[in-house]
Amino acid sequence: MSKESALIRAAEKETGRIEAFSDGVFAVAITLLAFNLQVPKLGDAATPGQLALALARQWPEYLGFVTSFFTVLIMWVNHHGVFRLVQKTNARLLFVNGYLLMMTAAVPFSTSLVTQYLQSSAAKAACAAYGGVFVLISLGYSALWHVVTRDRTLMKAGVSETTIERISRSWRWGPPVYVAATVGAFVSPYVTIAICTILWVHWSIVAKEF
């Protein structure tokens, strides 16, 4: 085996470790979202109608689960897309990725806030916290992309400037829009939910850029 081939294999092993660790965090975050879905406790004497009504009353849990599930899913897809372009890592990339994973792990908590308080007087604060977590996540993605594109030795050979600029342009407006979603919670909690839903649809389209 040549020295160059050995270096390439070592780099692939290095990026493979960070991807495997990241995949585990995304998987746990998505799994924890399911714990927001609770079985109604009605007792053995419950009728079908009572159960159906109790399930219907839990619609905030379903809304939070679907919105957060697809958001985390698209986050994972885009994260995978970034690392398809990366050939090696450095300390800065590891720490930025760690920050991103920390905020990803907070998504189930912020989702629980929304599902528990969406129908209460605290709904605006809960949705603002929910939007705030995604502001911090979007900043993490921006930082991750900045680290990768600033030091081009981290990127695989053959990645075009057109691809880099296209991805940069698509991600550039993520943080300010999530800020708008956070501030919008104080107008209506559903503004936050609507914007976050629109954004995961947008990120699913951006994922095709990789």
Identity of the residue numbered 147: V
DSSP helix/strand/coil, 86 = strand
> Are 91 and 142 spatial neighbours (Cβ–Cβ below 8 Å)?
no
How do residues 51-89 score in pLDDT, each as one tens digit? 999 899 999 999 999 999 999 999 999 999 999 999 989
How do residues 107-144 score in pLDDT, each as one tens digit? 999 999 999 999 999 999 999 999 999 999 999 999 99
User: What value does the mean pLDDT take over residues 176-183?
Assistant: 96
Listed residue (99, 103, 97) closest to 80, CA to CA: 97
User: Residue 169: which H helix or E strand, with range?
Assistant: helix 161-172
> Are 26 and 72 spatial neighbours (Cβ–Cβ below 8 Å)?
yes
Query: Residue 86 phi/psi, 5° resolution?
Result: -100, 135
CA pair distance 178, 73, nearest whole angstrom: 17
CA pair distance 104, 87, nearest whole angstrom: 23
pTM for the predicted model, two decimal places: 0.87
DSSP helix/strand/coil, 175 = helix
